[in-house]
Structure 1
Amino acid sequence: MNRRFLLARRPHGVPVPADFALVEAPVPTPPPGGLVVRNHYCSLDPAQRGWMDDAPSYMPPIALGDPVRATTVGVVHASDNPEFRPGDWVMGLNGIEDYSVCAPGGFTMKVDVTQVASPSLFLSAMGAVGLTGYFGLLEVAKPQPGEVLLVSGAAGAVGSAVGQIGKIVGCRTIGIAGGPDKCRRLLTDYGFDVAIDYKGKSVTELAAEIRAAAPGGVNIVFENVGGTVMDAEMLNLAKHARIVLCGLISEYNLAEKYGLRNLWPILTQQATLYGYLIMDYAPRFAEAGAVMAQWMAEGRLRIDEDVQEGLENAYEAFMRLFTGANTGKLVLKIA
C-alpha cells in the first residue's frame, strides 16, 4: 500500500493534527511517459506552510485531499520513460508519501548517490536548501571580500550555509539566531564572526547589538525571518546595501502578516531589496552541487541534518520547523 500524508483542510495560524490525514491507497502505476518513485527521504521546509494557504504565490496552493508537496529523493519503482529505469535514484518535487507519480517533464532528475554519504544530502547540501544559500549569496548579493554579511535564521539550514559560504569568499559574518545554544553553534560549528540572540529583545535593543557588531553598517542582509528582526536589520544598512529576501518564517503562521515597517532606510541608503526564489537556478543545480561537495570534502563547509523517521510522524516532524527544535536541515526518512 501507499501511505500518503494529505492536506485535509487549510490551517488557520499554527497547523494542528486535524489539518492533515494519513491514508492508505494502492501503489500507483506510471502514466504514459512517466514513472513512479519510491520516496526514501523528503525535505521539510518552512515554504510548505505557505503552500497550504489558498492564496496567490509563486506556486499553486496544495489542493485539499492531495499529499503535502515536498522535495523528495528516492528510487524509480516503475517507469514508462526510457530515460528513467527502475532502480535509478532521482530527486524531484513530489509529495510526502511512499510512492509518487511523476508525469513527463517537471522537476525530476537523476542523482548519483555513490558520490555522497547519504542520499539525504540531495535534500540539504546538494539540494534546494544548500543551493538556495549558494545562488542567493553568490549570484544575487555578489559579495566582495571584506564586506559585512548579516544572516537572520542563521542557525537554520539555509542560514548556516549562507554564513559559511560568506566566510569562504571573504566576508565578515554576523548571524542572528534564537537562544544561547544556537548562537554557540554559529560560532563553533559554522564559523560566524559574531552571533546575536534575538529572543526577548525589542527592535531598538536588537538594532543596537547589530550596530555594535557592524558600526559601519551591513553590506548584505540575507533575510530568512522577517518581522521585528528585519526591522532591526533595516536600521543598520550601509550605503548601497543588498537585501536578499529569501524567507519570512516569523510570518508563515500569522493570519495577519506583520510586513516591513522600516522602508525609509532602503531609500536613504540606496539599498536594493531582491525577492529571491531558488527555482530560477534549477538548471544549474549540478554545477553548484559539485562546488558544495568539494567544499565539504575540504572541510570548509559543514551541513548538519536533523533526520526524523517515519511517515506516521510527518506532522510532529514538520512542526519542529516552527518550535525551533530542529538542529539542521530537517528531513523525514520515509523508506
Structure 2
Amino acid sequence: MTSDATDHGSVLSAGLPMAVPMPGLPGHVRIHEVGARDGLQNEKSTVATEVKAQFVHRLAEAGLTTIEVTSFVHPTWVPQLADAAELMPRLADLAARPELRLPVLVPNGRGLERALELGVREIAVFGSSTESFARANLNRTVAESLAMFEPVVARARDEGLRVRGYLSMCFGDPWEGPVPVARAARAARRLYELGCTEVSLGDTIGVATPGHVVALLDELTAGGVPIGHLAVHFHDTYGQALANTLAALQRGVGVVDASAGGLGGCPYAKSATGNLATEDLVWMLHGLGIETGVDLDRLSATSAWMAEQLGRPSPSRTVRALTHREP
C-alpha cells in the first residue's frame, strides 16, 4: 500500500472525507437544521418532550448553530408539536448563548404572541408558491396567505426578531405539476418585500434538478432579491438533493436547510424519502473544503441515537457508513 493510500484510509477512518476544494464556492455554509421541527412533525408516535430537548442539545453540541426547534401551530394541525410551550424552557440554557439561533415556526399572529411570551428571538412563516398547496396547508389562496403574514412579519421585525419566510412547492406540486419559475419567483420576492430577512426555497416533493434550481435563483437575483437573503431546502425523493445543493452553492447561496439523519418527509408524495440529511450535506461540504463548524462524528452519533428513540434506522447514508464502520 502506498503512503497516499494509507493517508486516505486514515482520513476515512476518522469520519472525514479528503478535502478537495472547487473554485467559485463559498468558504463557509450555515446549515439551518430542521430535524427537531420539520423532521419530527410527521411522526405518528408522540416523541417525549424531554427526548426533543435532548435532541436539540445534542445537535448544538455537534456544532450546529441554527436549530429550528418547534412550531407554534394549533395542536389540532400538528399534534406532535403541541408541547412547544413545554419544550422552550428546557432550552433556556441554549437560548442564552448568543451564537446559537433557535427559530420557531409561527402560522399567524396568535402563534407570534405565544413565541414572544417565551422569549423567542427568531421566527419563520410558511407560504406556498401554488394555489393548491396554499389551500391544503393554510386554507387560503396564495395572496390571502401573504396578506395574513404581513402584520406578523411587521410585528416581529418591530420586536427585533429575525424572520424567515419558507416557500414550499417552488419546483413542483403534487396537484399542479411543475411550477413555472416566474410563479415561484413572484411569491418568493413578495416574502422578501414583506420584510423576511431570509427566504428559504423549498423543493417540497423533491422533484427539482440543478438547472431548475439555477433558473429560479437567477430569476430572483435579477428581480432584486440579493443572493445573501436566500436559502435552499431540498428533499431527496429522486436522489437530487446534493446535486441541487451544489448548483445553489455555485450561484452563491450560503445557507442550506437539512435535517439530522434525514428525518421528515412529504405526506403528499408516497415515494418521498424526506429532507436532505444533514450528515450527507456535511460530508459533501467538508469534502469541498467548506467550513460548517459541525463535528460530523458527533452529529452522526446524535442521529443514530434519535433513530433508536424512533425505533427505526436512519435513512442517511453517511450516518449508516460512519456508525457501522470498523474502528
TM-score (structure 2 length as normaliser): 0.30
TM-score (structure 1 length as normaliser): 0.29
Say which structure is richer in helix.
2
Flag the structure with more relative contact order, 1 or 2, with Cα contacts below 8 A and sequence separation at least 6: 2
Larger radius of gyration: 1
